Chains A and B, each alone.
Chain A
């Protein structure tokens, strides 16, 4: 089967959940016999000189086409980069510098965060829709020439491209929803984004949701026929040897970690409050908030006003190896997300033998048995779970052993097979 896939970044430029997921899935699919994927991504990073190019139409678009062959792939896949101003997401630190730069130099720059939420930088915001439309035009031109049987588009920024490709080629469209605007915005959706999402979902022949949670959102909030929406849970890449870092402990204190963007969606404030409760009862424990984001300063203030700052540490944004170093130092990992369509990071923690506490409001809670689950707002339960994992060794021992086993059984190959079934159902 030949697939035209509109995705996001590819290694080495991976910066978050969506990129990890589409990469993992593509990798898993490359192992299915007869599967050929043409992978199209917007090529635009904050450090590029965007003023050099203007996208007017398909003929003017600069397209890099190359064949890549990752060591992990069985077959090489065709990888196409389209120069576009759409930046799917970038890490928050880059974001701050990039926005400042964009404002001072007058360059056109649009930021979206990890899960694709837009941050309009004032005067440039209105151009984004033009960009997306232009990207769709390119998609259409690709589709015209293309040799494929199915179109697969990841998240809303690529939906117009998917729709355009479907219109031109008449081939079935599968859209993959990693997050909806309801997750990103906490309820106050952006009407323009909602409109694009809605169009994509209506025109698509099948919709893949990353969890039942997301599937329900699609059915309830977007009014899509339940028959059309299929859940394919994400998986996780096995750890590379090089990533299995073991860092020497430099203190006897237990460490409880929050790792992720410090934004409303991730629920960092509940972590701080739970930390306070635990620290009332235990002394030999430290809390770490790794990540940055718009709520970071408020969290620092809150920790200070609770007088736990000597036991509560902020690391800023962690990249690459540092993430695994952080895991190797952690005794408990907490993901108190308010709304998490899936949430791959607890799986990564479990790979590193760290017991996890996740919120019921995350898609990943649907697939994990060896994890403690609490409501994100229930700080008493969260604190109790942290205390339990730190003090009752049978529980953490059990999670370390069985949790790792559980995660190791979650393979992208299996997710890929399910996606393949979805393809077969629409052809």
Chain B
């Protein structure tokens, strides 16, 4: 029996507030609470809550035959906890039905898979832990930020013990091949790869309410008839999309919720497909071939590549600068710094700096809290500068050129003092020993005490600052 794999991404970034350069070194709070809360509340009320209710009803109605998979980014979970705890409750209810699978990803929806393996593993571990805490299950399938995938990333994920990964099925990778089969990683065949059917997925997620689209209006019956018409040998249709498509990108008034309600019945009745979660597919299907992805792909834009996040010089500078700081963040181990470092990695910040949407215009401004990619870049770099200052003041090490310079200066003065003191002693011995020594040594003493005080100072201020944080 042919099957459908429904997967939804749930993610909300922690958007930064307008952070001017004169805040650097003064203000250490980076987030726009008002914007984050109001967007979260809006999307929760229009999408997450009603859509989850529909899902729950559908699962009950179809008695376990309707199944879905979700991945919820750590930053979205953090925001649910802060602003919309009832959304998390509704996900917990869904989890209890046993018909819902939760996938693994990086905690902060980051691009760390592209640059730093240790950071990547750390974040995946943290996310895994969180999902287990919340829903009592350990994810067995991985999905990377924005479905970013390459052979290397796949091999890395396989090493971490995952059985499968989901990603985009772009034309330039597949060529004549169909995404409607299961593939395996080109380096490590143990890792199964499920590919998104982007045509059918985007018909729902992007084109549903597009009046200029030839297939408008899209009904569940019509969609099911397309499924039915697919090649009988094909095994699975992977429909991967943003959960926000249901009520937010496609507004409630477009009837997207009604479409969702009617969808499973239409699929069962007309197309005679079943529903499976990614884990079920990996258990039941036989992979047919390796999929070769030497260059990273994603599910963004027509190009399905990384250019939305790492396409221009601004994005690269910000990205490289950020990950340069990683080692220091680790060595300091300050929880507040680590948290900020996590949120600095959220891929959306880099997306806001993209200049590739100049021609597209509107599409861009919808997602972007900044007026231009340059504003986004300057704001980000200002925050990063402050972050770096905090980091440096928490981690004074000999590697720091300024510190070692000061230290050398002190040592030099110290040795001079000792030298002078000895010279004085010698002179004193030559002349009237008792008198001069008693006169001069206190002075030398106070000097060295002062020097010691200076020496203490860097350590002292550091101590203070760390306490403050």
Size of interface on B: residues with Cβ below 8 Å to A: 22
Contact partners of A278 in chain B: CB under 8 A: 21
Within 8 A of B (CB), among A359-395: 369, 372-373, 380-381, 383-385, 387-388, 391-395
Which of A277, A373, A381, A392 contacts B377 (CB under 8 A)? A392
Identify which of B22, B24, B372 gathers the most chain A CB atoms within 10 Å of its CB: B22
Whole-angstrom distance between the Cβ of B141 and the nearest chain A Cβ = 37
Whole-angstrom distance between the Cβ of B313 and the nearest chain A Cβ = 5
Q: In the complex, what distance in Å separates the CA atom of A388 from the CA atom of B382?
A: 8
What 0/1 pattern do residues 277 to 305 of A give for CB contact below 8 A with B?
11011000000000000000000000000
Say which size band chain A's interface belongs to. Answer: 20 to 34
Q: Are A394 and B377 in contact (CB under 8 A)?
A: yes
With A281-B22, A373-B371 in contact, is A388–B314 under 8 Å at CB?
no
How many residue-residue contacts, CB under 8 A, span A and B? 57
Contact partners of B313 in chain A: CB under 8 A: 394, 397-398
Q: In the complex, what distance in Å separates the CA atom of A387 from the CA atom of B20?
A: 9
Which of B20, B312, B318, B377 contacts A383 (CB under 8 A)? B20
Q: In the complex, what distance in Å separates the CA atom of A388 from the CA atom of B372?
A: 14
Name A's interface SS. helix
Whole-angstrom distance between the Cβ of B121 and the nearest chain A Cβ = 29
Does B316 touch A at the CB level, under 8 Å? yes
Whole-angstrom distance between the Cβ of B372 and the nearest chain A Cβ = 7
Q: Are A280 and B22 in contact (CB under 8 A)?
A: yes
Does B77 touch A at the CB level, under 8 Å? no
Identify which of A281, A383, A395 gathers the most chain B CB atoms within 10 Å of its CB: A395
Contact partners of B371 in chain A: CB under 8 A: 373
Q: Are B22 and A395 in contact (CB under 8 A)?
A: no
Q: Are B377 and A395 in contact (CB under 8 A)?
A: yes
Contact partners of A385 in chain B: CB under 8 A: 374, 378
Does B381 touch A at the CB level, under 8 Å? yes
Q: Are A277 and B22 in contact (CB under 8 A)?
A: yes
Which of B22, B312, B358, B378 contacts A388 (CB under 8 A)? B378
Contact partners of B404 in chain A: CB under 8 A: none
Q: Are B317 and A393 in contact (CB under 8 A)?
A: yes
Q: Are A369 and B358 in contact (CB under 8 A)?
A: yes
Contact partners of B22 in chain A: CB under 8 A: 277, 280-281, 380, 383
What 0/1 pattern do residues 366 to 381 of B give for CB contact below 8 A with A?
0000011011011101
Q: Are A392 and B381 in contact (CB under 8 A)?
A: yes
Q: In the complex, what distance in Å separates the CA atom of A383 from the CA atom of B318?
A: 20
**A and B contact pairs by CB, cutoff 8 A, 18 listed:** A281-B24, A369-B358, A372-B372, A372-B374, A380-B20, A383-B21, A384-B21, A384-B379, A388-B21, A388-B374, A388-B377, A391-B21, A391-B381, A392-B378, A394-B313, A394-B314, A398-B312, A398-B314
Which 6 pairs, one residue from A and one from B, show the smallest C-beta to C-beta distance? A388-B378, A394-B317, A387-B21, A394-B313, A392-B381, A384-B20
B residues with a Cβ closer than 8 A to A are 20-22, 24, 312-314, 316-318, 355, 358, 371-372, 374-375, 377-379, 381-382, 385
A residues with a Cβ closer than 8 A to B are 277-278, 280-281, 369, 372-373, 380-381, 383-385, 387-388, 391-395, 397-398
